[in-house]
Structure formats: structure tokens, C-alpha cells
């Protein structure tokens, strides 16, 4: 989609303003129901689009992404444009700087339509935990779009954006992409800068892309990837353009299917779709190999201990002093009383729950048995992937054990909600790149719901996994 739009813009067949108007029109028409956007920057988007048209009129060559309208997940800072992280505690917060990924998109002249909804502080798998609104799945509005990048996925699936940035700590790009029938990529840890991204689990977080096709995801990823002096955890990059690596040929590729991922808890309908996708990969010339990731069973607990501990540290900055919601400071007895009031009023229920769990696990007497132990198990999980990748080039699994569930279905049962992440978290623990791409759909109560397949690659092999998904798509 992006390439075709780009060619039409460059040739003058369509205008950037016209394109922005079209997507803003879709937001006006649909978003009352879908609820993907928290903030729409109509004026900013149109002013920018106008400048792109002026450049084209002067005969200049524009970058691939110039004038292409997209949305940014609201945990990514945008200078001058409200950023809430889906939380009351940041209601009305206007960042004084933009995240590096936003600066890079601006350098490529993309049109940013606005900020999209998420579970508060990226903590959730349904986008039901935002302080602002519940986002609906465009395929069935009684169901969740997934989370935490539910707004990003819903916006693209509903045609309210061509592309969207999301973030993924334990599946938050891949799972909503699967639920909404889209391509969603979480790059290798360190591939994309986290500067200006409100942190959830600092050793797990990565910004990535949700789009309609593998090529579109590749194009946006090329824009945002790269080493950043502001992020010491970002990795050296050769500045490759991922869209240049889409050959559409995977003959001879070895694809591993981990036996631990195909057991109990996997929905029958999803399993059937997955098995067909495996056959399709075979027909494309890939060799399917059964592999084992022996520590899979401990991955979910490992993930939640690490993520929640890191979250509790990261949330310490929300003290209502430099920014944040303030409930009558004069009425508080002391600074501590003030902090407790600000945080008690500003954090939602799920955040409080995670904050409490993380604080408990890090407290004296528990640190060794929880966080320290989890970081050791994590080393074992990474080793599982290292061993697997000696035998195969890619790993293929269902993205989620089930299709999109109904809104309200599990907001009362935190553990049930956490279990949805089971196929995704090992990826973040190991730091490897992974994407979800559509592989079919299942019939649930007379509605066809999308199903995604997850392709996991070796560290820094974004080219490989994007090409694999691209090849599948093309056939």
C-alpha cells in the first residue's frame, strides 16, 4: 500500500492533503465507535501534508513515507502533542521533546494523524485498561482488538491509518496484529531506539510497526530503526532498508516448530489454521523441523516477574511533581501523603496490581527468589533459542492460542489475561525479533475472526522474518 501511494503522490495523481483528508474523514466516520484514537492532530497533519505537496510541486523527490498518514501509540512522546500513556496520571501532559522514532518519521516526512489508545502504560492484552476508552476490534466490535497496542491495530484495520507504531514488551504488537488480521513486527531488542518511549519493562520493551503488509511494515521499520546516542541499549546498524530484502523466495529455509507450543490450551480452530500454514510454508520450499524450547513452561512466570519488577521501578518517577495529576496538594499532610494520593488517584487498577506485584518481588527478602532467579531462568530461555537457531533459520508458531475474545471476558481475572501472552513472551525474554502475519481466520459465533502466525528470527535478522512473511503473502 505505501509504495503505491508514494508513486501516486510523487506523480501528482493524488495530493498529500487529499490523502490526509481521506484518513481524517475515516476517523470522523468510524472512530466514535472504534475508539482507536485518544488525540487527533487534524491541524498538524494537514499543515504537514500541505508542505509535502509544496515540495512535490517544486519537482522534488520525496522519501517513500512522505505524506503517508499513520498513528503513534500514546506511550511514545510527541513534542507539543499530548501524550498520556493511556493513564490519568499523565492527563494533559505535553512532552517537551519527541521520541527518536518520531523524529525519524518526521525526517522521512510521514504524516502523523494522532495518538492511539493503549492499555495504561502498555500493561495489558486487550486495550480495556486505558483510562480514556475501550478500543473495539473492527472485525467484531463486541470483541477486543488485543493489546496493549490495540489502538494502533484497530486504526490500521479500520482504515483510519496506513501504518501505526506500537510497542511490544510481552506481545503487545504481535497479539493485536493477530486479533486484527495485520502484520506486526517487534524488532530485535536494541534495533529501535527507546528514547522518548515511556518505559514499562526496560530490558524487554521495543517499538515496532503494525501495517497491512510485510512490505509496509518493512518500510516503516527502515525509517525508525538505527543506533541512537540517546539510548545506550540501542545497537549498531548498517542503515539497511528492509524493503530491499523482500525477494519473495524462501526455498531451502529451515523453519522450526516448537513442540511445546502445540499442546493444551491451543484453540482447535487456531490449530487447524496453523497446520495449514505450515503446509503452505512447505509448499513454498521451506523445510519444517520439529524443535524443542525446553524452558517454555517457565517463560510466562519469568516474564511477569521481570516485567513487573522493572515496571515498579519505572513508575517511581510519577510523583506528581514535574508532571502529573494533582489532587489538592494543600490537603496532604506530607510529601509522602502527597505521593500516595497522586499515585492512588492517577494509576488505574491494573497498574496498581502490577505495581504492587513488582514492589513485593523486589522487596528485601524476596529479590533473590523472584527477580534474580527469573534473570537466571531467562538466561536458560535465551540459550534455548541459541540452540534452536543452530538447527533452523526461523521458528514458526501460532501468535496467540485463540482468536479475539469478547470485551469484558477476562478483565476480572488477571491471571487468565496474562496467559494469553504465552507464545509471545519467550521472544522478549531472549531479545530476538518476531512478527505476526495473517494466516487465515476462524468462525466464532458466525463471525470470521483473524488468526496470526508468528515468525521468530535470529538476533538482528529482521530482513529474514520480513522476507518470510512477504513470501507467504505473495503466494
Partner 1 sequence: MVKISDQDVMGVAELAQVNLTSQEVGQMRGDLESVLGYFDVLSGVDVGDMEEIGHITRMENVLRSDEVSAEGADMREDLLQNIPSRDGDFIQVKNVL
Catalytic center residues: 73, 148, 172
Tell me the site size for partner 1, rule CB under 8 A. 74
Residue 42: Cβ-neighbour burial (10 angstroms; 0-12, 13-18, 19+): middle
The footprint of partner 1 on residues 314-343 (CB under 8 A) is: 316, 319-326, 329, 332, 334-341, 343
Rounded to the nearest whole angstrom, what is the least distance from the CB of residue 257 to partner 1 in the complex?
24
Cα–Cα distance measured from residue 47 to residue 151, given in angstroms and rounded to the nearest whole number? 24
- Window 376-415: contact mask with partner 1 (x via CB under 8 A): xxxxx-x-------------------------------xx
| 283 versus 334: smaller Cβ distance to partner 1 | 334
| 70 versus 196: smaller Cβ distance to partner 1 | 196
In this structure, the chain runs to a length of 475
Rounded to the nearest whole angstrom, what is the least distance from the CB of residue 177 to partner 1 in the complex?
22
Q: Which residues pair with 258 in a beta bridge?
A: 291
- Window 242-281: contact mask with partner 1 (x via CB under 8 A): ----------------------------------------
Binding of residue 237 to partner 1 (CB under 8 A)? no
Cα–Cα distance measured from residue 460 to residue 421, given in angstroms and rounded to the nearest whole number? 22
Among 3, 63, 97, 141, binds partner 1 (CB under 8 A): 97
The footprint of partner 1 on residues 55-94 (CB under 8 A) is: 79, 93-94
Q: Which residues pair with 338 in a beta bridge?
A: none
Rounded to the nearest whole angstrom, what is the least distance from the CB of residue 355 to partner 1 in the complex?
5
Q: Which residues pair with 211 in a beta bridge?
A: 163, 183
The sign of the dihedral angle between the CA atoms of 50, 56, 60, 62 is: positive
Rounded to the nearest whole angstrom, what is the least distance from the CB of residue 116 to partner 1 in the complex?
21
Phi–psi pair at 44, nearest 5 degrees: -60, -45
| 264 versus 283: smaller Cβ distance to partner 1 | 264
The footprint of partner 1 on residues 195-214 (CB under 8 A) is: 203
Binding of residue 298 to partner 1 (CB under 8 A)? yes
Binding of residue 304 to partner 1 (CB under 8 A)? yes
Q: How far is the CA of 347 from the CAs of 54, 151, 207, 313, 343, in angstroms?
A: 45, 20, 23, 15, 6
Binding of residue 22 to partner 1 (CB under 8 A)? no
Binding of residue 235 to partner 1 (CB under 8 A)? yes
Cα–Cα distance measured from residue 420 to residue 125, given in angstroms and rounded to the nearest whole number? 8
Binding of residue 365 to partner 1 (CB under 8 A)? no
| 135 versus 302: smaller Cβ distance to partner 1 | 302
Binding of residue 297 to partner 1 (CB under 8 A)? yes
DSSP 35-48: --EEEE-HHHHHHH
Rounded to the nearest whole angstrom, what is the least distance from the CB of residue 125 to partner 1 in the complex?
15
Binding of residue 447 to partner 1 (CB under 8 A)? no
Among 39, 178, 223, 302, binds partner 1 (CB under 8 A): 302
Per CB under 8 A, which region of 3-11, 156-164, 243-251, 296-304 contacts partner 1? 296-304
CB atoms within 10 A of CB 448: 14
Binding of residue 431 to partner 1 (CB under 8 A)? yes
| 32 versus 96: smaller Cβ distance to partner 1 | 96
For 406-413, the CB contacts below 8 A with 24+ separation are 406/142, 406/143, 406/144, 407/126, 407/128, 407/134, 407/136, 407/142, 407/143, 407/144, 408/128, 409/144, 410/126, 411/126, 411/128, 411/129
Binding of residue 353 to partner 1 (CB under 8 A)? yes
Beta-carbon contacts of 17 under 8 Å, excluding residues fewer than 6 positions away, are 46, 49, 50, 53
Rounded to the nearest whole angstrom, what is the least distance from the CB of residue 131 to partner 1 in the complex?
15
Rounded to the nearest whole angstrom, what is the least distance from the CB of residue 415 to partner 1 in the complex?
6
Beta-carbon contacts of 49 under 8 Å, excluding residues fewer than 6 positions away, are 15, 16, 17, 19, 20, 67, 69, 111
Amino acid at each position: 500500500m505505501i509504495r503505491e501511494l508514494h508513486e501516486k503522490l510523487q506523480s501528482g495523481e493524488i495530493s498529500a492533503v487529499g490523502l490526509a483528508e481521506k484518513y481524517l474523514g475515516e476517523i470522523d466516520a468510524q472512530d466514535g465507535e472504534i475508539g482507536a484514537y485518544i488525540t487527533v492532530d487534524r491541524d498538524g497533519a494537514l499543515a504537514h501534508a500541505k508542505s509535502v505537496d509544496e515540495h512535490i510541486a517544486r519537482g522534488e523527490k520525496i522519501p517513500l513515507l512522505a505524506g503517508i498518514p499513520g498513528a503513534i501509540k500514546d506511550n511514545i512522546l510527541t513534542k507539543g502533542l499530548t501524550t498520556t500513556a493511556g493513564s490519568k496520571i499523565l492527563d494533559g501532559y505535553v512532552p517537551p521533546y519527541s521520541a527518536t522514532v518520531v523524529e525519524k518519521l518526521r525526517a522521512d516526512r510521514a504524516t502523523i494523524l494522532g495518538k492511539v489508545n493503549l492499555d495504561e502504560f502498555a500493561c495489558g492484552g486487550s486495550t480495556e485498561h486505558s483510562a480514556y476508552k475501550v478500543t473495539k476490534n473492527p472485525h467484531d466490535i463486541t470483541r477486543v482488538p488485543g493489546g496493549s497496542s490495540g489502538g494502533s491495530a484497530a486504526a490500521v484495520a479500520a482504515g483510519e491509518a496506513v501504518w501505526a507504531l506500537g510497542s511490544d514488551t510481552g506481545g503487545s504488537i504481535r497479539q493485536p496484529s493477530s486479533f486484527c488480521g495485520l502484520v506486526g513486527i517487534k524488532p530485535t531488542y536494541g534495533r529501535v531506539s527507546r528514547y522518548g518511549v515511556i518505559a514499562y519493562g526496560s530490558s524487554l520493551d521495543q517499538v515496532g510497526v503494525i501495517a497491512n503488509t510485510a512490505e509496509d511494515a518493512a518500510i516503516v521499520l527502515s525509517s525508525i530503526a538505527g543506533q541512537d546516542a540517546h539510548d545506550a541499549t540501542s545497537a549498531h546498524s548498517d542503515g539497511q532498508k528492509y524493503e530491499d530484502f523482500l525477494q519473495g523466495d524462501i526455498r531451502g529455509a529451515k523453519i522450526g516448530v516448537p513442540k511445546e507450543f502445540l499442546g493444551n490450551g491451543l484453540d482447535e480452530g487456531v490449530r487447524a489454521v496453523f497446520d495449514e500454514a505450515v503446509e503452505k510454508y512447505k509448499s513454498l520450499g521451506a523445510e519444517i523441523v520439529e524443535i524443542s524450547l525446553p524452558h517454555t513452561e517457565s517463560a510466562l512466570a519469568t516474564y511477569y516477574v521481570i516485567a513487573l519488577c522493572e515496571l515498579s521501578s519505572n513508575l517511581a518517577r510519577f510523583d506528581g511533581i514535574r508532571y502529573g495529576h494533582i489532587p489538592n496538594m494543600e490537603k496532604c499532610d506530607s510529601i509522602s501523603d502527597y505521593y500516595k494520593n497522586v499515585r492512588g488517584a492517577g494509576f488505574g487498577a491494573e497498574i496498581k496490581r502490577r505495581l504492587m506485584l513488582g514492589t513485593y518481588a523486589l522487596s528485601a527478602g524476596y529479590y533473590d527468589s523472584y527477580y534474580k532467579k527469573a534473570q537466571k531462568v531467562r538466561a536458560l530461555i535465551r540459550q534455548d533459542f541459541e540452540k534452536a537457531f543452530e538447527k533452523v533459520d526461523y521458528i514458526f508458531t501460532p501468535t496467540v492460542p485463540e482468536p479475539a475474545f469478547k470485551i469484558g471476558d477476562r478483565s476480572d481475572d488477571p491471571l487468565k489475561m496474562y496467559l494469553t501472552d504465552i507464545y509471545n513472551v519467550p521472544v522478549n525474554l531472549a531479545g530476538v525479533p518476531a512478527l505476526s502475519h495473517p494466516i487465515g481466520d476462524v468462525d466464532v459465533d458466525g463471525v470470521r475472526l483473524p488468526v496470526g502466525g508468528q515468525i521468530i528470527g535470529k538476533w538482528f535478522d529482521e530482513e529474514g522474518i520480513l522476507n518470510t512473511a512477504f513470501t507467504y503473502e505473495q503466494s
